[in-house]
Amino acid sequence: MQVTESVRMAIGAIRANKLRAGLTLLSISIGVFAIVGVAAAVGALTASIDKQLESLGRSTFIIQRDPAFAMGGVGDRRAQITLRQAMDFKNRFTAAQEVSLTNFIGGVVIKFEEKSSDPTFFIVGGDESYLPTNDFTVEEGRSIDPMDVQNGSDVVVIGADVANKFFSQRSAIGKQIKLNGYPYTVVGVLQSKGAVFGQSQDNFVLIPITSAARRFFDEWGSSVSMAIRAPSIETLEETMDQAIGLMRIIRRLDIGKENDFEVITNESLSETFGGITKYVSWFGAICGGFALLAAGIGIMNIMLVSVKERTREIGIRKAIGATSGNILSQFIIEAVTLCQLGALIGIGIGVGMGLAVGALLGIVAPIPWGSVGISVGICLLIGVVFGSFPAWKASQLDPIEALRYE
Amino acid sequence: MAPQATSIGEPIIEIHHVSRRYVMGAETIHALRDVSLTIRRNEYVAIMGPSGSGKSTLMNIIGCLDTPSGGDYFFEGELVSKMSDNELAQIRNQQIGFVFQTFNLLARNDAVKNVELPLVYAGISRQERQERAVEALRQVALEDRMTHKPNELSGGQRQRVAIARALVTRPSIILADEPTGNLDTATGIDIMRLFEDLWRKGNTIILVTHEEDVARNAARIIRVRDGKIESDAPNPNRIQMAATAAPTTAPATP
């Protein structure tokens, strides 16, 4: 008897007991969902972060005080990288094609005329390369230019959220707004980039880092981060070595002392993040594995009940010519079909979740084929392993006894 | 001799000194003791006996659902008493058409699917299965009930589906166990007419029953008691029965 025929029979049997089969499917689906869903969500997250890292460029690296992902607490507090040190570095470091300085100050109150905001905005202290590097486009007016940075001018480019809040109907250019009480003149408005994870990307203002240092650094204890672009990917390593050397001189580190700053590349970020996501994926897989084990026992239980209930059917089938092998394979295939239907649902929901997370992050999430394959494989195994005993019991029924069964 | 629709042919079933013992705890039950009989092609035989007589055991052995403890059983010249379970399943599938008292149809499947089932185990292709099932249902005058499920059919119609299922493999014998036991008298007569018709078309029919009225339809009656054959003789009423029944037997309609 062909497998297709058995699968058809199995589907018929499952349809005859929709509720029971449904509940069993559910337990399988949950297990598969844990495996595929977590993998899909992690995949979406990874893809999103890779995309963001790409904007950094492969020949660019960052020097900043703290690591990008802190696993546990940061040990000893490191001294901040001051603007003076950063400017010193920028002036002396000739190996780089470009050095861009950035600094973030959070919880800023913005005020225009009588209207005042909650302290939910942040200030980016940057230079002329901040906007292009981070993929922002000026909608109206201009960006800050090298002269602004050199002079420490009190000019500001405002994000779309700020513009909407204070200048919904009119032009913001030339207006004076107050950042934590300090007056700045608006020279540009940015195009909106939308939200990531419900988190707006437009709720900031950009001012020259020199101005930020003068106004806010002492008060905020801020540290400058430096994005350094090597002339090419080939010279990245060399440029990094030179940058570290120069930074050690500027930071006055003795030989033998460890760096008191972090060097972050696209790759090292990916690696760090990949390490974290690997644990998360494994965690999902282990949870899913246990769920599937429990589901497998459920499958065995349901199949045993099913064999008992269908004793007469088994008798009929045997009487009209089914061999023990036919009955054995029929019930194993039924268990496997049940498992695979559950897997299908779990995969559907899991991949759906991945796509949803991806949509939130503004990317098309990759389908985690590896996890899908593993899930299908595990479900096949579970169907065979936990379906075998009930199927074997069914196949060993005596046709005469089975036909008499009420 | 009883009249035959076609002439009696070669032996299909040859049972020589067959016995069947069951061990139940400390007790050994002798369900059959030294039974011998021969059934030839196109015979119409009734096996009669009260419950506990051993007629069911005899039927199970004839139907290859059970194997004897002693003696030889040849089916179409082949020794089946030493066959493996799989070989027995194949004989049941291809050589024997079972008809049961309780119909034993699969509730979830419609008439065509039920009739197809033996062909599934015979490994026949989907299309041929369907064609043959439809043909078999036509033989029992159920062509307008093809897609009905058992619970949408009357008792008589269900038994007709079961008979179609028994016919579909073109078996050597049709083995009917109390085929009218669950039917009212009129429907029972209807079903017996169908058997009559099938017999006249050349089928070999073995009827297992405890009812005299039913057994009277057969051309030969074997009486079983205490595990032994009590009598085995042509049916004396058969000549008259056939003469009166013949004009009305032709295709029974529901």
Interval B99-149: pLDDT, tens: 999 999 998 899 999 999 999 999 999 999 999 999 999 999 999 999 999
Tell me: do A243 and A307 sit in the same domain.
no
CA distance readout (Å), A260 to A64, A153, A228, A249, B38: 9, 31, 18, 12, 103
Interface of A with B (CB under 8 A): 1-2, 5, 12-13, 15-16, 312-313, 315-326, 399-400, 403
Q: Which residue has the tokens 């959220």?
A: A161
Per-residue pLDDT band at A221 (split at 50, 70, 90): low
pLDDT digits (tens, 9 = 90+) for A240-279: 999 999 999 998 888 888 888 888 887 777 777 778 888 8
- Nearest by Cα to B48 from B232, B224, B248: B224
CA distance readout (Å), A304 to A227, A329, B108, B253: 65, 15, 20, 43
**Dihedral (Cα; B16, B22, B28, B29), 10-degree rounding:** -70
Residue A63 lies in a domain: no
Of all residues in chain A, the one with the smallest CA distance to B169 is A320
Name the H helices within A57-92.
Answer: 83-92
Q: Do A317 and B104 touch (CB under 8 A)?
A: no
Given a cut of 50, whether residue B252 has pLDDT beyond it is no
Interface of B with A (CB under 8 A): 60, 63, 65-66, 85-86, 89-90, 92-94, 98, 100, 104-106, 108-109, 117-118, 120-123, 165, 169
Given a cut of 80, whether residue A8 has pLDDT beyond it is yes
Nearest to B104 among A13, A15, A403 (CB): A403
pLDDT digits (tens, 9 = 90+) for A57-82: 678 888 888 877 655 555 557 888 88
Q: Do A12 and B122 touch (CB under 8 A)?
A: no
Beta-bridge partners for B19: B70
Amino acid identity at A360: L
Tell me: do A102 and A167 sit in the same domain.
yes
Question: How many CB atoms lie under 10 A from the CB of residue B156?
Answer: 20
- Position B249 scores a pLDDT of 41
Three-state secondary-structure class, residue B235: coil
Per-residue pLDDT band at B97 (split at 50, 70, 90): very high
CB A85 within 8 A of CB A252: no
Q: Do B120 and A325 touch (CB under 8 A)?
A: no
CA distance A208 to A145: 8
Contact pairs from chain A to chain B, CB under 8 Å: 62
Question: Average of pLDDT values for A107-124?
Answer: 87
CA distance A383 to B73: 41
Residue A169 lies in a domain: yes
Q: How many domains, in total, are found in chain A?
A: 2
Nearest to A321 among B92, B105, B108 (CB): B92
- Nearest by Cα to B206 from B99, B73, B114: B99
CB B143 within 8 A of CB B241: no
Q: Do A13 and B90 touch (CB under 8 A)?
A: no
Supply B59's token pair. Answer: 């039927």
Residue A164 lies in a domain: yes
Tell me: do A305 and A167 sit in the same domain.
no
Per-residue pLDDT band at B63 (split at 50, 70, 90): very high
- Nearest by Cα to B33 from B57, B11, B49: B57
Q: Do A320 and B100 touch (CB under 8 A)?
A: no
pLDDT digits (tens, 9 = 90+) for A169-209: 788 899 999 998 899 999 999 998 877 666 788 889 999 99
CA distance B188 to B197: 14
Q: What percent of chain B has pLDDT over 70?
A: 91
Question: Average of pLDDT values for B150-157?
Answer: 94
Supply B111's token pair. Answer: 């008439």
Supply A334's token pair. Answer: 């039924």
Q: Do A321 and B118 touch (CB under 8 A)?
A: yes
Read off φ and ψ for residue B150, nearest 5 degrees.
-50, -40
Name the H helices within A57-137.
Answer: 83-92, 130-133
Q: Which residues of B touch A1 (CB under 8 A)?
A: 120-121, 123
Tell me: do A217 and A157 sit in the same domain.
yes
CA distance A212 to A122: 12
Residue A73 lies in a domain: no
- Position A220 scores a pLDDT of 63
The DSSP letter of residue B252 is -
- Position A380 scores a pLDDT of 94
- Could you tell me the sign of the dihedral formed by the alpha carbons of A340, A342, A348, A352, in that order? negative
Q: Which residue has the tokens 């007629």?
A: B55
ipTM of the complex in this document: 0.88
Supply A263's token pair. Answer: 């060097």
Read off φ and ψ for residue B97, nearest 5 degrees.
-110, 115
Beta-bridge partners for A229: A60, A98
Q: Which residues of B touch A324 (CB under 8 A)?
A: 85-86, 89
- Position A108 scores a pLDDT of 85
- Nearest by Cα to A301 from A20, A19, A17, A8: A20
Q: Do A323 and B85 touch (CB under 8 A)?
A: yes
Residue A46 lies in a domain: yes
Per-residue pLDDT band at A1 (split at 50, 70, 90): low
Given a cut of 90, whether residue B250 has pLDDT beyond it is no
The DSSP letter of residue A368 is -
- Residue A316 sits in which domain range? 3-52+272-404
Supply B124's token pair. Answer: 């026949």
Residue A326: burial class (beta carbons within 10 Å; 0-12, 13-18, 19+): buried
Name the strand (E) or helix (H) holding A141: strand A138-141
Amino acid identity at A25: L
Nearest to B98 among A1, A320, A322 (CB): A320
- Could you tell me the sign of the dihedral formed by the alpha carbons of A354, A359, A360, A362, in that order? positive
Of all residues in chain A, the one with the smallest CA distance to B168 is A320
Name the strand (E) or helix (H) holding A177: strand A176-179
CA distance B22 to B11: 29
CA distance A331 to A391: 5
Residue A279: burial class (beta carbons within 10 Å; 0-12, 13-18, 19+): exposed
| DSSP per residue, B72-139 | EEEETTEE-TT--HHHHHHHHHHHEEEE-TT----TTS-HHHHHHHHHHHTT--HHHHHHHHHHHHHH
Tell me: do A101 and A203 sit in the same domain.
yes
- Nearest by Cα to A123 from A193, A222, A55, A218: A222
CB B218 within 8 A of CB B208: no
Tell me: do A123 and A242 sit in the same domain.
yes
Amino acid identity at A3: V
Residue A156 lies in a domain: yes
Q: Which residue has the tokens 């058997």?
A: B195
Q: Do B109 and A322 touch (CB under 8 A)?
A: no
Selecting from 3.40.640.10, 3.40.605.10, 3.40.190.10, 3.40.50.300, what CATH number does the domain B41-69+94-249 have? Answer: 3.40.50.300
CB A289 within 8 A of CB A378: yes
Tell me: do A351 and A214 sit in the same domain.
no
Question: Average of pLDDT values for B188-207?
Answer: 92
Three-state secondary-structure class, residue A64: strand
pLDDT digits (tens, 9 = 90+) for B199-244: 998 899 999 999 998 999 999 999 999 999 999 999 887 754 444 4
Q: Do B120 and A1 touch (CB under 8 A)?
A: yes
Q: Do B121 and A323 touch (CB under 8 A)?
A: yes
CA angle A204, A206, A209 (to 5 degrees): 130
Distance from CA of A24 to the nearest CA of B (A): 21
Tell me: do A279 and A207 sit in the same domain.
no
Residue B90: burial class (beta carbons within 10 Å; 0-12, 13-18, 19+): middle
- Position A155 scores a pLDDT of 94
- Write down which residue in A236, A260, A284 finishes a domain: A260
CA distance A306 to A12: 13
Q: Which residues of A touch B90 (CB under 8 A)?
A: 321, 323
Residue A68 lies in a domain: no
| Number of residues assigned to chain A | 406
- Position B98 scores a pLDDT of 94
Q: Do B121 and A315 touch (CB under 8 A)?
A: no
Q: Do B86 and A317 touch (CB under 8 A)?
A: no
Q: Which residue has the higher pLDDT, B85 or A195?
A: B85
Q: Which residues of A touch B122 (CB under 8 A)?
A: 321
CA distance B220 to B211: 14
Distance from CA of B86 to the nearest CA of A (A): 6
